[in-house]
A and B are shown apart, each in its own frame.
Chain A
Amino acid sequence: MVRGLLIAAVLAIAPISVSHAAEAKHPPKVDWTFAGPFGTFEQGAVQRGFQVYKEVCAACHTMNNLSYRNLGETGGPFAAAGKWDPASGVWKEVQLGAPHHGTRFVPAPDNPYVRAIAEGYEITEIDPTTGQEITRKGRPADRFVSPYTNPFQAKALHGVAPPDLSLITKARHDGANYLHALMTGYTDPPEGETPPGGATNLHYNPYFPGGWISMPPQLVRDRVVYDDGTEATPEQMARDITAFLAWAAEPKQITRKKTGFATLIYLLILGALLYAAYRQVWRDVKH
């Protein structure tokens, strides 16, 4: 029965693999550092990606599921390590990156990089004691500030609401490759191709389903000036923003993979022991 089922399964799966005729152009594969079971994020790339988000994307796109503290959590772009000084009650010698000998992970709310980023934003809220609208400096616990004062403004301003970017690499098929291709893929439309309904505010991009997208091309050379001195080519910025958004879609993904290895090794040993026990129990039984 097993052999028959295998044949059946192969026969059945065969037609599936050839059926992906997509309407949009297939994005080219990029060799991401975070892809695959062993993949991790390069902290520099995710930091640069955050800078691109902050200076370019955030003008129109929300990121509702992210808080500033996320940036400093384990695996985040601004995760840092330092030495806790109990006498003064502050962290000293704080440096970006994983803890090494003698330093400890700095909790995100104390992380000076995260605090600085959060404080760069103004938060408008209602003061509960007076009922008046006030503005205050951002805190690590605050959600990423939206460029809109209400959800209707996005659509009113742009015609289509720009999608929220919290989950964008998960919300598109082959998300990371798609995003990279989309950001770098703007071209002149092929001969005879015109925007639907003669719209004038659409841009041609073969990777976008239907070919016509509301978002104008963004990543022109030197659109941002990278803090770390990296040359801001469109390709570089596209890779960085994709890395950042891939991290943001699931900040716990590196923990997930690491836990996965430990779990599989545990199950492998347990399985081997159980198999040995099974052989032992059944050794004298004809079956």
Chain B
Amino acid sequence: MSGPSTYEPKTGFERWLDQRLPVARMMHDSFVDYPTPRNLNYFWTFGAILMLCLVTQIVTGIVLAMHYTPSVDDAFNSVQRIRRDVPFGWLIQNIHATGASMFFLAVYIHMFRGLYYGSYKAPREVLWILGVVIYVLMTATAFLGYVLPWGQMSFWGATVITNFFTAIPIVGEPIQQWLMGGFAIDNATLNRFFSLHYLLPFVIAGVVILHVWALHVTGQNNPDGIDVKDKADTVPFTPYATIKDLFAVVVFMMMFATFVFFLPDALGHPDNFIPADPLVTPPHIVPEWYLLPFYAILRAIDFSIGPISAKLGGLMLMVGAIGILFVLPWLDTSKVRSMRYRPIARWFFMAFVVVCFVLGWCGAQSPDKVVAQAGEFTIDATFTPAAGGEQKFTATGHTLEEAHKAFEKQRAATVSAAGPGSLTKTVVTPFQFKVTQLSQLLTLYYFGFFLLVLPILGLRETPGRVPETIAKAISAKRGAAVEKGA
């Protein structure tokens, strides 16, 4: 935090270095004496956890790159070679592949934390925006990395995603070809994706430094969302925050290790153990779980609006879903930071979390999957035998196929009894609520939360009584706890 430095060089060397390059001073002020609000809960340990994730991915990734072969003929087998023959390759590869999921799990908790406690509000707007930049870089890196093992899902995921660029008018197709390095996903694509996958983590590391810098200028937010007023509100980062962070990191590592050692394939897709084949399209192309909500938004638009095609509309919404986070600090009009003191906003937030999860579920389903259906399929038929007369019959079924089967049975029975004749039939389709429609509703809430709820509610909601200082908030909480206990 900005303020007078308390660093005192103790040895001659430290004094000498301090006058030339004060790195020790910077580290001391940032990670030792840095004042930390004393009321932070465990949601504030995810910064440290994310640091662990980034370092883990970079270190394991560098080792993997020593053994990986970025060529369409060898990539798939080189990953198998790593898993089978490289000493501890199975471990390093598992950590890297699982680590991507763990990184996203942690970053989503970190982001929801920021959303709930209003960590994006003044004076932390730049801090938040840098965080969103890191998130965007993470999704790009993860997408590029998923292509490298060159399995079926790698190849077809890359095909689907690059194909979406063609929705952009005029420049879309050239952009797609430029990304792919040709007219299809091929060796050129794999090579450039490998190069970029190696580059972006270091860009992330750079932005992380800015993120931490911005954090240390404004100071941390806290669960009560109150500004730090004096020393009574804070504790020094070391040992208080360091020891708590270390404990949380180890708990996180236990979950991480459970996946790495006992469920290494649980987060992946079986199709990616099949080598990429441009001639065989998998029945369902799905991205990794952490991109599913955005994939659902992308596919939610199945109609065109004027000049905007369904594809372009979906792309715009998907980009908008992340882009809207950049302007979030100016969309939320509430003066109160923490939703702890916003009784109504809190429920809209919980609903938002549910919406994100269900969007993720939608992203994994086929868009035509029926979520709910009112009534059954009905086939009304009229059979007119050549001999004259008229016979009507009706077949029903929960699906169109079932209805057809029932219909065929009745038809056969009728025809065999009455002889040849002519048949007319009408199929009545019941109202069906499909994944696409569900995704549309959820997408509406996703954007409604940012564009309607946060701007309007902030002006109209009567917030709870916010304590004046962190110290008072703590004693109020402890008082309540004592009362409850008594």
Contacts and interface: CB of A to CB of B under 8 A. Distances in A.
A252 interface: yes
Interface string B238-268: 0110011011001101100110111011000
Contacts of B239: 281
Interface in B22-56: 38-40, 43
A287 interface: yes
Size bracket of the B interface: 35 or more
A268 interface: yes
A251 B90 CA distance: 10
Interface stretch (A77-85, A120-128, A130-138, A272-280): A272-280
Nearest to A36: B262
A172 B354 CA distance: 31
B90 A268 contact: no
Interface stretch (B160-168, B174-182, B269-277, B421-429): B269-277
B361 A256 contact: no
B270 A260 contact: no
A70 B358 CA distance: 44
B235 interface: yes
A257 B251 contact: no
Contact of A13 (B90, B265, B275, B357): B357
B243 A271 contact: no
- Chain B interface mostly: helix
Given A65-B77, A278-B247, A286-B475, A11 B261 contact: no
Interface stretch (A1-9, A44-52, A53-61): A1-9
Contacts of B243: 274, 277-278, 281-282
Given A267-B257, A271-B254, A278-B247, A1 B357 contact: no
B271 A171 contact: yes
B361 A15 contact: yes
Contacts of B159: none
Contacts of A70: 84
Nearest to B359: A12
A260 B353 contact: no
Contacts of A7: 350
A64 interface: yes
Nearest to B273: A171
Contacts of A256: 90-91, 94, 261, 264
Nearest to A171: B273
Contacts of A275: 247
A16 interface: yes
Contact of B246 (A209, A257, A264, A274): A274
B478 interface: yes
B262 A286 contact: no
A13 B360 CA distance: 10
B116 interface: yes
Contacts of B262: 37, 257, 260
A274 B254 CA distance: 14
A274 B247 contact: yes
Interface of A: 1, 4-5, 7-9, 11-13, 15-16, 19, 37, 64-65, 70, 163-164, 166-167, 170-173, 175, 209, 249-252, 255-257, 259-261, 263-264, 267-268, 270-271, 274-275, 277-278, 281-282, 285-287
9 contacts: A1-B116, A4-B350, A5-B112, A12-B361, A257-B262, A259-B261, A260-B260, A274-B250, A287-B474
Given A4-B346, A171-B271, A277-B243, 12 more contacts: A1-B223, A4-B353, A5-B353, A8-B353, A16-B361, A37-B262, A64-B77, A70-B84, A170-B270, A171-B274, A264-B258, A287-B40
| The 6 residue pairs across chains A and B that have the minimum distance between CB atoms | A260-B261, A12-B357, A171-B273, A274-B247, A8-B353, A170-B273
